[in-house]
Structure 1
Amino acid sequence: MSQLPKLGLLMLLAAMTSGAFAEDTQAPSNGEISATIGVVNKYIYRGGEENDDPAVQLGLEYAHKSGVFLGYWGSTLNYDPSDEDQDHGFEHDFYIGYGRVLNENWSYKSQIVSYYYQNGGTVYSEDGLDKRRTTGFEMLNDVSYKDLTLGLGVMLADVSYANAGDVYLSAAYSYPLSKDFSLNTSIGASLYNDSRDDQLVQTTESFAFNEARIGLSKTVAEKVDLSLDYVYGGEGRDGVDFDNHVVVGANFNF
C-alpha cells in the first residue's frame, strides 16, 4: 500500500474514533487531557526538511490547573539520524513545563523538551575520534501578548545536529479572520555556538535567518483544523540555503 492511502486510512480511523477517545480521556476537575493526530504533506522544522514525504504526527498533553504541564509529540521521518542507509524513522518529543495566563493579554510558559529518535543512539565521525548522541535537550520559553508570541530556545547539550548553547529566536502572530479562518505568520533565526564544533558539527554562520512563514488555518466541525502555509527558507549553521515549501496539513483534536 502506498503512503497516501495509508494516511487517508489513518485520518478516517481518527475521525471515526475521536468521539470515543474524548469520552475515555476526560480529566478530573484539577486538570485537562488533550490529544491530536494529524497529517502534513511534508514536515519542515526551523527551515530544514525533516520529512519531504507525507508525515503522520500525533500528540498527547496533560495540563494541571497549577500551570504544570507535560506531554508527548511525535512524527514520522524519512531518515534515521544514526543510520544513513535508512530512509525512514520516527521522532519522539517528551516535554514538561510550567505556564500561566497573567491576564486577558499576557501569558508565558517555559518547558524542557527531550528529542528522542527511534533506534537513535551514538553517531561517530569517520575516524572515530568524535562521537555524539542523537538525543537532545532544549529549554523553550514563550511570552505572549494577545496574538503575538515571542520565543527563545536554548540547546542544553551537544548532539549530532547542534551544539550546547545554540539559541533559537522566533516570533509568531496569528490574526483571526471571519468564518473561523486565521492568518498566521512567523519568523525564526538562530545564534549558533561554534566553540564546541568538531568533525560532526561544523559552524560557518554565527547568526542565520532560518525561515519565515505565512498561511491560513480554519477550524472545521469544531475538532478539525486545516492549514496551508508557505515557508520561505533561510539557511542553516553551515551557510547552505534551505528550500521554499508549501505545507498543507490537517489536525484532529480531541
Structure 2
Amino acid sequence: MTGSIPKIPFALPNIAARPTFSIPDAEKRILDFEDIELWLQPDLGNVRAQASNYLSITGRKGWLAQSNDAKIVLGTGMEDIIPTINFTSGNTTAGKNPLHVPGFVIDGSYFVAVLLRFAAGTTFDSTTYRIISGGISGGTDVEFYCQNDRLSLRHGSGQSQTLAQSFAADTSYLIWGSYDAGTNQAAVGINSPTALVWSTDNLTGAAGSGREIVIGGQFNAGRTQGEQLFNGQMRGFWAGRTAWVEPEFDVIRAAFLGEIASLYPDDITLT
C-alpha cells in the first residue's frame, strides 16, 4: 500500500485493464504553442455521445465543444480509420444547436486551423460550406467558409475571397485563416503555411459582441438553431485569439502547421 491506495499485484477477474497510451512528441510540441487556446480532437476518451444526439468533445486545453444536432456525429471517414466529427450538409435540425464552444468568443484578432475532408459527392458550387463562424446569421460577425471553390473570410459586409482553388470531394485539407485587428489584415492558406492570394480584399474589422465560435456551421438569427453545415469530416480543430498574419509570425505558423502535418501524413502533405 502506498499512502491510502492499495496496490494489488495481480489482475482481478471481470475488471477491464486500464488503457495505456503514449502522447506523440508532435502533440506535446503543439501544446507548447501558447497562442493556441482551443484544440479539439476526438479521441482518448474525450467524447461523450448520447442517444438524444448530445455530443460533447473536451479539448486538449480544457474548452468543451457541444451540439445536440442529429446531423453532427462522431464517426470516421479520413485515413487510418481515426475518429472524426462528421457533418451533413444543409440546414440543421429545427431547434438544435450546431457544434459550438460556450464562452469562447472571437472579439478581435484570431487564428484558426482545421484538418478536414470534404465528403464524397460534395459539389463546390454556390453552396456555403462553413469552416467556422462567430455570431449569428446575417449579423456583423465573423465567417470563414468555402463557396464557389474559393475560401472567404467575412466580417459583416466586408469580405475577402481567394482565387478558385480546385477543391476535390473525398479529399483532405489542412485549412487555416487568421485576422489581425491591429492592422486590419487577414490571410488564409491550404496545405501550406504560405498565404493564398486574395482576388477580392475588402475585409473590415470584426464588429458586434458575444461572437461565440461555431465549428462547421453558424447560429441562425434568433440563435435558436444552426444553419449551413459543413459537408464532410473534421479530424482536428485549433483556434486562438492572436493573429498570425504579419511576416514575423511566418516561421511560427509554419512550425505549427508542420507539427499537425507530421501527425497525419496519410491525410495531408504540406507544400
TM-score w.r.t. length of structure 2: 0.32
Higher strand share: 1
Identify the structure with bigger relative contact order (alpha carbons < 8 Å, sequence gap 6+). 2
